């Protein structure tokens, strides 16, 4: 128990340290962007005195390291800051957007994870068959095609030709669950086609590698059916690599939704990030990037812990 607790604390410390380094990179990247925020907000007709007073009000006249430490202190206190453009607390801006992004990612995960595991096990059972070859061709095509192209194809088929789903996933705050599912189906399907291919191929590869091991051959010699051999003997030992790729793709469903949200004009965190970059609302950009980074680090940390706990050789190192 104590080694496991120490491992969890160690991973939490490394995750926090990684997030600190990422925050430095985010702040430094924002600082290197060209342009003047004050001039962007007030316009080019603003006088130098007005610009100077506005920079002082926003704290832009302070040295970069001072502004970073102030930002970090506010983050530790739970304050993400205020939007430079709208002067609205960033927490208010992110609350509904973050919920929409997590809803879209969860919707896609409910479809993609079971489908990927089922296809991975099925193709491993029928390795070299016509089904295996067909699924592999489709998965390779899904991996090779960019997300925006997949999204436009789905819009053309299901919105333009069939008129089953809307091409713009605009949501209202009082939308019902069925309306949300209907309007977010095309963005969720786009994400599903991308991540299912990765998870399916990793599941298939992990199980095929295990099927070549001696203990699997022994199970077959004892008369175990192919399904029982995979479910009872191979799949438990394939948990670590499968969980790793599932966690990475779950992180991608949240972090990688920017392009999909822009294509479907989905009111999520990715769309807010793009809008804030175009408006040079740097405080919102910093907060959104930090949330994306924290999500990715968290999912990787969870997958790492599950991989260690599912493997006795990693739990009990000599």
User: Which domain range does residue 257 map to?
Assistant: 90-315
All residues at 6 or more sequence positions from 296 whose CB lies less than 8 Å from its CB, including other chains: 251, 254, 255
The total number of structural domains that make up the chain? 2
**pLDDT tens digits, one per residue of 153-168:** 888 888 888 878 887 7
Each residue of 226-252: pLDDT tens digit? 677 777 767 667 677 777 777 777 777
Same domain, 55 and 170: no
Per-residue tens of pLDDT for the chain, all 318 residues? 566 677 778 888 888 888 888 888 888 887 777 666 666 666 666 677 777 777 777 677 777 788 888 888 888 887 777 777 777 788 888 877 888 888 888 888 888 888 888 888 788 777 778 888 888 888 888 777 777 788 888 888 888 888 788 877 777 767 777 888 888 888 888 888 888 887 888 778 777 777 777 777 777 777 777 677 777 767 667 677 777 777 777 777 777 777 888 888 888 888 888 888 777 778 888 888 888 888 888 888 887 777 777 666 555 555
- CA distances in angstroms from 273 to 28, 54, 257, listed in the order given: 17, 24, 11
Residues 63 and 8 reside in one and the same domain: yes
**Nearest C-alpha neighbor of 86 from the set 125, 127, 58:** 58
Q: Is residue 82 in a domain? A: no
pTM: 0.76
Query: How far is it, in rounded angstroms, from Cα 60 to Cα 52?
Result: 9
- In a shared domain, residues 71 and 154: no
Residue 262, Cα to own-chain centre: how many angstroms? 15
Between CA 196 and CA 216 the distance in angstroms is: 27
Q: Classify residue 262: in a domain, yes or no.
A: yes
User: Does a structural domain hold residue 81?
Assistant: no
Residue where the block lists tokens 């302070």: 62
Q: How far from chain centre, in Å, is Cα 31?
A: 25
**Continuous H helices in the chain:** 2-32, 37-42, 48-58, 64-76, 90-125, 130-144, 147-154, 177-183, 185-211, 214-221, 226-228, 235-237, 239-255, 258-263, 269-279, 282-309, 312-315
CATH code at position 102? 1.10.3720.10
């Amino acid at each position: 128990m104590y080694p496991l607790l120490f491992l969890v604390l160690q991973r939490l410390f490394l995750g926090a340290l990684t997030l600190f380094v990422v925050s430095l990179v985010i702040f430094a990247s924002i600082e290197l962007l060209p342009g003047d925020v004050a001039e962007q907000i007030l316009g080019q007709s603003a006088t130098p005195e007005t610009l100077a007073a506005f920079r002082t009000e926003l704290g832009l006249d302070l040295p970069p390291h001072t502004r970073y430490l102030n930002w970090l202190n506010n983050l530790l206190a739970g304050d993400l800051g205020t939007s430079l453009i709208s002067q609205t607390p960033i927490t208010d801006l992110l609350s509904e957007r973050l919920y929409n992004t997590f809803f879209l990612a969860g919707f896609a995960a409910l479809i993609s994870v079971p489908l990927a595991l089922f296809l991975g096990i099925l193709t491993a059972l029928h390795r070299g068959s016509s089904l295996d070859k067909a699924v592999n061709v489709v998965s390779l095509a899904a991996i090779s095609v960019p997300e925006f192209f997949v999204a436009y194809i789905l819009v053309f088929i299901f919105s333009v030709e069939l008129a089953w789903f809307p091409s713009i996933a605009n949501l209202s705050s009082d939308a019902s669950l069925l309306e949300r599912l209907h309007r977010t189906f095309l963005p969720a399907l786009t994400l599903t086609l991308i991540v299912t291919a990765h998870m399916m191929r990793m599941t298939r590869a992990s199980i095929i590698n295990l099927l070549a091991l001696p203990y699997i051959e022994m199970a077959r010699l004892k008369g175990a059916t192919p399904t029982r051999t995979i479910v009872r003997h191979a799949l438990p030992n394939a948990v670590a690599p499968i969980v790793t790729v599932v966690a990475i793709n779950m992180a991608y469903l949240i972090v990688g939704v920017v392009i999909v949200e822009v294509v479907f004009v989905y009111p999520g965190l990715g769309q807010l990030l793009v809008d804030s970059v175009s408006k040079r609302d740097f405080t919102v950009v910093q907060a959104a990037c930090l949330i994306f980074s924290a999500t990715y680090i968290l999912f990787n940390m969870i997958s790492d812990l599950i991989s260690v706990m599912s493997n006795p050789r990693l739990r009990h190192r000599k």
